[in-house]
Chains A and B, each alone.
Chain A
Amino acid sequence: MKIEVLGSGCRKCSKTAEEINTAGAELGADFSVEKITDPKVMMQYQVMRTPAVVIDGKLVHSGSVPNRDTIRNWFE
């Protein structure tokens, strides 16, 4: 699956990407994580709070660093 982390490149966004990478590796999932800072993309998804997470083109989270359980759920 293709995971995108939307945000202006602040610390919370990097942390979100990191957490997803860790969880994904632990679960042995097949995935890629990309950090996106382009404001046009944020507008496209109507995201008003970052960090936001988009999986395969669908917005699944926005406004905070997601907790571990939430991330694990995405991989299942």
Chain B
Amino acid sequence: MLEIFTHFADWLAYAVLGLDPASRFGSAVHFFIEDTSKILVLLMVMIYVIGLARASLDLERVRAFLQRKHRFAGYLFGSGFGAITPFCSCSSIPLFLGFTSAGIPIGVTMAFLLTSPVINEVAVVLLWSLLGWKFTLAYIVVGMSVGILGGLLLDRLRAERWLQDFAARAYQQAGDQADASHRAQTAPGTMTLSERHEFAKNETLEIAGRIWKWVLIGIGIGAALHGFVPEGWFERQFGAGQWWSVPAAVLAGLPLYSNATGVIPVLESLLEKGLPLGTTLAFCMSVVAASIPEFLLLKQVMLWRLLALLFAILLISFILVGWIFNAIAPWLDIV
């Protein structure tokens, strides 16, 4: 299915522009055209589809569903809903409060909150089109596991102690089910088909308009690495034997948040030049998921202690993921 973009690049680079497929410049231009057209088209389609799904997803029903679930199934479903619901700094707080005040166990809400930023549609499209479905699947499984285990751990630690007062009170009250009348006011009815289409269209234009330049920059850097860094260079520098390469990659990924779309195309070239799989995966998660500014917003509903704990859980699990995948990479044959 994706070969169509190779044909398009063949046609544009060799037939229209008349470049020589054997020349270095010709193949670089071909690489650039193929990747940009493929990624931009896939992104638009995916954001639109997710936008439709999101317009149709009724959070009140998700919440009611989670309320009925047993705690352990709750972690799994909480994390699953987190994966399909895009995380945005604007929606994390009301969502967190909506879940908490409905008495959903704090760990289930945390499973949602931890998974949501790790797995988002933009990252999944980029990973799938650039690194293949195996890497993407590994990424999703690992991302959900981080959310589920993190949620479990936070429940064990009784993390509700570290909520801001008003949120902790709401959580407690929900246990008594005292405010049923207050809950009568629910969000206005569901959207019509054309409203969903409009919502998804607006999302697509808004997100695509914001990220297209990062995609181009990322692919440009990737193409440059592709051409100029010698084969196996990263393997010699940061090979799997160097244990510190994983924490270093996680730390390096932290400040790159806003450029997640620009960083993933670079990963393709990094892997190709021998950066170990686990290190790449850890770097990728750190870039996509751990955003300090978005985390600080959660201060409105949590005490510092819980905030720091959440951040530590994310960082430590990314490092563990890196080490584990570096260790098992030879048996995986992912890339």
Contacts and interface: CB of A to CB of B under 8 A. Distances in A.
B101 A59 contact: no
Contacts of A61: 188
A48 B202 CA distance: 20
A2 to B, nearest CB: 17
Given A39-B301, A48-B63, A10 B97 contact: no
B23 interface: no
Interface string A33-72: 0000001101101111111100000111111110100000
Contact of A48 (B55, B60, B170, B301): B60
Given A40-B166, A43-B166, A43-B170, A50 B94 contact: yes
A7 B90 contact: yes
B98 A48 contact: yes
Interface residues of A, number: 28
A62 to B, nearest CB: 5
B49 interface: no
A39 B199 CA distance: 25
B88 A10 contact: yes
A21 interface: no
Nearest to A63: B187
B187 A47 contact: yes
Contact of B94 (A49, A64, A67): A49
Contacts, number: 76
Contacts of B156: none
Contacts of B60: 48
Contact of B98 (A7, A47, A51): A47
B187 A12 contact: no
Contact of B93 (A39, A46, A52, A58): A39
Nearest to A44: B182
Contacts of A65: 202
Q: Give the one of A13, A42, A48, A65 with max B CB within 10 A.
A: A48
Contact of B97 (A43, A58, A60, A63): A43
A46 B99 CA distance: 10
B300 A39 contact: yes
A75 to B, nearest CB: 17
Interface in B176-201: 183, 185-188, 195, 198-199
A46 to B, nearest CB: 6
B185 A39 contact: no
A43 to B, nearest CB: 4
B97 A8 contact: no
Interface in B151-188: 166-167, 170, 183, 185-188
Interface of A: 6-10, 12-13, 39-40, 42-43, 45-52, 58-65, 67
29 contacts: A7-B90, A8-B93, A12-B90, A39-B94, A42-B94, A42-B97, A43-B94, A43-B98, A43-B166, A43-B167, A45-B185, A46-B183, A46-B186, A47-B187, A48-B59, A48-B60, A48-B63, A48-B98, A48-B99, A49-B187, A50-B94, A51-B90, A52-B94, A61-B188, A62-B187, A64-B199, A64-B202, A65-B202, A67-B195
Q: Which 10 A-B pairs have the closest CB atoms?
A: A48-B98, A10-B90, A43-B97, A42-B94, A48-B59, A8-B90, A62-B187, A39-B300, A39-B93, A48-B94
Given A43-B167, A48-B60, A60-B188, 8 more contacts: A39-B94, A43-B97, A46-B98, A46-B101, A48-B99, A59-B185, A59-B188, A64-B199
